[in-house]
Amino acid sequence: MPFHIRLRVDPNAPCLLTDPTLAPQIITAARHYHVVKRWCLKLMVVMPDHIHMIACFPAEPGMSRTIANWKAYLSRRHGAKWQVNYFDHRLRNDDEYVEKAHYIRMNPVRVGLCDAPDDWKWVVDGREA
């Protein structure tokens, strides 16, 4: 079952997730988790202060532990500063999945960071992970 996940930076210690030294590390770590099957990443878009993703998680260790470990790695190794919790929403059907994927891909366009979704380079498409 896929989930929409949103991870935010710590508002008290903000960092720029799209920094050219940090964003590639986030993308690499996300792809690694996909390859080693800690999650099945369908889509990820890295924004300056948050990340949207659609992913499925194995029962063990589960979504919470997997996300906590991933965030901890990025904090220790690359200085990412995260908000303690995260948002998640189970996508219950194909229509909801398509709607949320479109919303996520359009996020950089909506806030004026690029003109078209394909112009935004901080994206992992699960087919490419």
Given a cut of 90, whether residue 14 has pLDDT beyond it is no
Task: State the pTM of this model.
Answer: 0.94
What is the mean pLDDT of the segment spanning 80-104?
96
Task: Answer whether 50's CB lies under 8 Å from 7's CB.
Answer: yes
- Position 122 confidence tier, pLDDT thresholds 50, 70, 90: very high
Its domain, for residue 117, covers: 3-125
Half-sphere exposure of 67 (CA within 13 A, CB side): 24
Q: What is the CATH number of the domain that holds 31?
A: 3.30.70.1290
CA 117 to chain centre: 16
Given a cut of 70, whether residue 68 has pLDDT beyond it is yes
Please tell me what DSSP assigns to residue 119: G
Q: Which residue has the tokens 């901890």?
A: 72
What is the mean pLDDT of the segment spanning 41-56?
98
For residue range 26-40, what is the model confidence (pLDDT) as tens digits? 999 999 999 999 999
Number of domains in the chain: 1
Q: In the sheet where 3-8 sits, what is the strand order?
A: 87-90, 3-8, 50-56, 40-46, 123-125
Given a cut of 90, whether residue 49 has pLDDT beyond it is yes
What is the rounded distance in angstroms from the CA atom of residue 104 to the CA atom of residue 95?
14
